[in-house]
Amino acid sequence: MTTIIERLEALRRHYNLSARGLADRLDQRPSTVVNYCNGSQPPKLEFIEHVLQLFPDISAEWLIRGKEPMLVTEHPDLAVLKKKYETEILVKEGIIKELRSIILEKNQNKQSPDRQQLVG
């Protein structure tokens, strides 16, 4: 797609909207949106921002610059994120428990010999 007008047309087709339907969804005057969609008037930045807010799955890079893909495809895999952060949390909890144990031993002057070498 070479122009923003063509990309707006593709967006309308994707959502099966007429220019008037798009205007209704955006709470804009139909004549303004029709002028943007047929190219008689360049779309204003506020209009583009409103489109991107209403359709969060549309890539801003695509709509503004024409860089593919049209739809945002970088949705995180929840299972991978959960595993990553669960492991990270478990490691941090283990470190915290170990540090707590060291501090308690140091405060009570009851350090084990192997810990004395580590802590000093």
pLDDT in tens, 79-110: 776 777 777 777 888 888 888 888 887 777 66
Whole-angstrom distance, CA of residue 35 vs CA of residue 22: 12
Report the predicted TM-score, pTM, of the whole model to 2 decimal places. Answer: 0.58
- Higher-confidence residue: 19 or 74? 19
- Which range has the worst mean pLDDT, 31-45, 54-68, 79-93? 79-93
Query: Residue 51: is its pLDDT beyond 80?
Result: yes
| Options 1.10.240.10, 1.10.260.40, 3.40.30.10, 3.50.50.60; CATH of 4-65 | 1.10.260.40
Q: What is the pLDDT of residue 52?
A: 92
Residue extents of the structural domains in the chain:
4-65, 78-119
Q: Exposure string (b/e) for 45-83, b if CB count within 10 Å is 16 or more? A: eebbebbeeebeebbeebbeeeeeebeeeeeeeeeeeee
Task: Name the average pLDDT for the chain.
Answer: 83
Look at the block and give the residue holding tokens 């000093």.
120
What is the pLDDT confidence band of residue 116, given thresholds at 50, 70 and 90? Answer: low
Beta bridge partners of 58: 71
